[in-house]
Structure 1
Amino acid sequence: MKNVLITGGAGFIGSNLALKLLKKGFTITVLDNLSEQIHGVNPEKNSPLLRSIENKVTFIKGCVTSRNDWMEALKNQDVVVHLAAETGTGQSMYEIEKYNSVNIGGTALMLDILANTKHSVKKVVVASSRAIYGEGRYLVPSTGQYVYPEARMEEQMLKGDFNVSTHGIHELLKLVPTDEQSKIHPTSVYGITKQVQEQMVMLVCKSINIAAVAFRYQNVYGPGQSLSNPYTGILSIFSSLIKSGKSINIFEDGEESRDFVFIDDVVDATILGIEMDEANNEVFNVGTGVPINVLTVVKSLINCYGASVGYKVSGNFRLGDIRHNYADLTKIGSRLGFQPKVQFEEGIKEFANWVNKQNVSLGDSYEQSIDEMKNKGMYK
């Protein structure tokens, strides 16, 4: 299976995946709409991610919501790696139709074509997300029971209480890694769309005898990540603020944590899904299995850049954000032999070294995104 279509293949994960697959002898086709939010203005000339794959892949500028673009892109393909999606958790709470149209509608269109036309596709690998879990898994220390807290209430967080709780349990819950059997209860429209996307792929592909693999990526970061997209990961946002000499506003109490996984590890895991039959018809977490809190992220970045900017733990928060989630990697380790190679301390330095070589500017886009959320009642 040497012909691989990567939707969203000019993006951060997609372009890195394409380059590594090319080295392994695969023939790559990329379908990407070159979204301005990701690639900036005039991306054909100005996007470094696009330039990295230019003249190395068959590139189709198109959208996953277009049947004609799908029909062209799917010709003679053995594998589809479906990465194309709208990805801003906060933005998804008010750009609802857009997120549903692209993430759910685009995936439904692909599956409709695969179910009803002649094609050569033998496997579909879909990018799912840790966002489908909502809050992570917790242990009740006194009973050994696993629980899955619901979304935190606005009234609670306005009082400065950001911890999770579960009805009827009055003791402090212990955070534990989230495995693939954990409860799926997303707290954002983005998370809902990724849940539906994953479930459609796993269900429909099985019914039409196409192997399917879903990867629930944690917070992916690394060189090449967009530094101008205000809806991208916090490492890029914080880096852009630091390099611009601006103070950082840390939401909640700074203790909220995520599992930050380096781009090279994400690419390696995805390739295992393409190449290994053991991955077929399974879902896997992809992360490091280590939670890192936001305050640690900020201090690490300031140290890496040797900057003197300040930061403030403000107590501000966004509705729909979760408190904690980090991956249990037992399944992907035992089934596919995957182990992350890059730990946070190493990866953050490599990321910062790359940022130091870039022309960094968020402009007013970050403040505008905050104002947008305030106006929609999502930011407090």
Structure 2
Amino acid sequence: MTTPSSSARPGGTVLVTGGAGFIGCAISAALMESFDRVVVVDSLHPQIHASGRRPPELAAAAELIVRDVTEAATWDDVLARVTPDVVVHLAAETGTAQSLNESTRHTHVNVVGTSQLLDGLNRHHKLPRRIVLSSSRAVYGEGAWRRADGKLFYPGQRTSVTLEKGEWDFPGAEPVAMNAAQTFPAPVSVYGATKLAQENILQAWAKSYDVETVILRLQNVYGPGQSLINPYTGIMSLFCRMAMGGKSIPLYEDGDVRRDFILIDDVASAILAGALSTTVRGTPIDIGSGEFQTIGTAAGLIARHYNAPQPHVTGQYRQGDVRHAWADVSAAADVLGWTPQYSLTQGIDLLADWIDAQPDVQPA
């Protein structure tokens, strides 16, 4: 992983919440190269960490403190021992569909976990120089669409009635790329609402104390190291396991749902840039591959990799899913000096090769 040219090695201490998860492990080695001390706070939730043990992917020199971010006592313990210069806030419940059924859990972890962190920093008089928040494209909901006359509008959440009729798109309009400078956030899932709340809470707090903020709205993250036991962390690993078993991958709606699949390596370099860049502005930044692919295209590439049957359209749908989502990444280049490096084909090959090498992995 390369460090953006606009950054410098700051040294000091970086505190990473949720740092034993998929993204945290992916950035841990690079953080060790850039900071003198890396401290990870993670609950090792069994939905992600079935064994309850420290993940081997986490850099050996990173200090792991197993505690719950939603508890005030956690921060009294951690901040008695740690004075962070930079905080990378990754800790969150991430399941879009699951958030509809477990709203309290998602709200508690994502919102209260954030406010407890901030209260702890204030209570112990240990304000960091910068906080980097891993946010989500889910804050946009369906985002903006453009009518034939060129005017933008916000269609809002698709209803059960329209979905039951198979009315997937909004007639007479085309979606546009998500851009934090132009696209108004309007989440259509509990998860998206909690991520937007995280952003708002952090910005209100940080501006009051002159703490720098870097808010990264991530698109669909996938790649080696992704949980193979958590059904709520993305479809790419699930598709690989289906194709591995010789199954035809089922496609929801009409298979033409657009997504911006971004490889974990690119996400890791974006977060590192957010932690190190000297040119931050404080406004949210979109992080994605810079282009969209349909779900059908991604599934077809995976099927071809495994020589599996072609994917098939089911017409099923999921409440809380948006129709199309992809990012305009120009601000990431301008502010952070960051651009994505991997194509979808490269990323799928890397993910599939990694899955194939895992012991005891089972086809789905």
Whether TM exceeds 0.5 here: the answer is yes
Q: Given residue 69 of structure 1, which amino acid in structure 2 is its aligned partner?
A: T
Does residue 156 (structure 1) correspond to residue 174 (structure 2)? The answer is no
1:362 Cα deviation from its structure 2 partner: 6.7
Residue among 142, 145, 167 paired with 1:138: 145
2:335 counterpart residue number: 335
Does residue 63 (structure 1) correspond to residue 73 (structure 2)? The answer is no
Distance in 1, Cα, partners of 2:124 & 2:151: 48
1:39 counterpart residue number: 49
Residues 119-268 of structure 1 mapped to structure 2, 5 A cutoff: 119-142=126-149, 144-165=150-171, 172-180=172-180, 181-268=182-269
Aligned residues of 1:287 and 1:327 also touching (Cα < 8 A): yes
Give CA deviations for 1:147-192 in whole Å, capped at 9, x if unaligned: 2221112111212221135xxxxxx212221110311100100000
Distance in 2, Cα, partners of 1:253 & 1:220: 22
Distance in 1, Cα, partners of 2:220 & 2:261: 5
Aligned residues of 1:273 and 1:280 also touching (Cα < 8 A): no
Distance in 1, Cα, partners of 2:146 & 2:342: 28
Distance in 2, Cα, partners of 1:154 & 1:25: 49
In structure 2, do the counterparts of structure 1 residues 111 and 33 end up closer, same or farther at CA, with 3 Å as the change threshold? same
Q: Given residue 16 of structure 2, which amino acid in structure 1 is its aligned partner?
A: I
Does residue 95 (structure 1) correspond to residue 95 (structure 2)? The answer is no
CA RMSD of aligned residues (A): 1.6
Distance in 2, Cα, partners of 1:110 & 1:24: 23
Does residue 80 (structure 1) correspond to residue 87 (structure 2)? The answer is yes
Distance in 2, Cα, partners of 1:343 & 1:148: 30
In structure 2, do the counterparts of structure 1 residues 208 and 264 end up closer, same or farther at CA, with 3 Å as the change threshold? same
1:280 Cα deviation from its structure 2 partner: 4.3
In structure 2, do the counterparts of structure 1 residues 362 and 198 end up closer, same or farther at CA, with 3 Å as the change threshold? farther
Q: How many residues align?
A: 350
1:244 Cα deviation from its structure 2 partner: 3.2
Give CA deviations for 1:217-274 in whole Å, capped at 9, x if unaligned: 0001111111121111110111122223444321111000110111111111111111
2:289 counterpart residue number: 288
In structure 2, do the counterparts of structure 1 residues 245 and 25 end up closer, same or farther at CA, with 3 Å as the change threshold? same
Q: Given residue 325 of structure 2, which amino acid in structure 1 is its aligned partner?
A: N
Give CA deviations for 1:13-35 in whole Å, capped at 9, x if unaligned: 01111111113344210111111
**Which segment drifts farther, 96-105 or 334-343?**
334-343
Aligned residues of 2:13 and 2:35 also touching (Cα < 8 A): no
Distance in 2, Cα, partners of 1:164 & 1:236: 30
**Which segment drifts farther, 99-108 or 310-319?**
310-319
Q: Given residue 123 of structure 2, which amino acid in structure 1 is its aligned partner?
A: N
Aligned residues of 2:127 and 2:211 also touching (Cα < 8 A): no
Distance in 2, Cα, partners of 1:281 & 1:211: 7
* Secondary structure of 1:303's aligned partner: helix
Distance in 2, Cα, partners of 1:268 & 1:311: 32
Q: Given residue 217 of structure 1, which amino acid in structure 2 is its aligned partner?
A: L
Aligned residues of 1:245 and 1:309 also touching (Cα < 8 A): yes
1:117 counterpart residue number: 124
**Which segment drifts farther, 247-256 or 92-101?**
247-256
1:120 Cα deviation from its structure 2 partner: 4.7
* Secondary structure of 1:31's aligned partner: strand
In structure 2, do the counterparts of structure 1 residues 211 and 362 end up closer, same or farther at CA, with 3 Å as the change threshold? farther
Aligned residues of 2:143 and 2:185 also touching (Cα < 8 A): no
Q: Given residue 186 of structure 1, which amino acid in structure 2 is its aligned partner?
A: P
Distance in 2, Cα, partners of 1:151 & 1:299: 28
Q: Given residue 229 of structure 1, which amino acid in structure 2 is its aligned partner?
A: N
Q: Given residue 353 of structure 1, which amino acid in structure 2 is its aligned partner?
A: D
Does residue 276 (structure 1) correspond to residue 285 (structure 2)? The answer is no
Gaps of 5+ in 2: 1-9
Residue among 19, 27, 44 paired with 1:9: 19
Residue among 114, 119, 136 paired with 1:107: 114
**Which segment drifts farther, 62-71 or 187-196?**
62-71
In structure 2, do the counterparts of structure 1 residues 57 and 254 end up closer, same or farther at CA, with 3 Å as the change threshold? same
Calculate the TM-score normalised by the size of structure 1. 0.88
Give CA deviations for 1:193-239 in whole Å, capped at 9, x if unaligned: 00000111111011012111110000011111111211111101111
* Secondary structure of 1:302's aligned partner: helix
Calculate the TM-score normalised by the size of structure 2. 0.92
Aligned residues of 2:177 and 2:325 also touching (Cα < 8 A): yes
Aligned residues of 1:257 and 1:324 also touching (Cα < 8 A): yes
1:355 Cα deviation from its structure 2 partner: 1.4
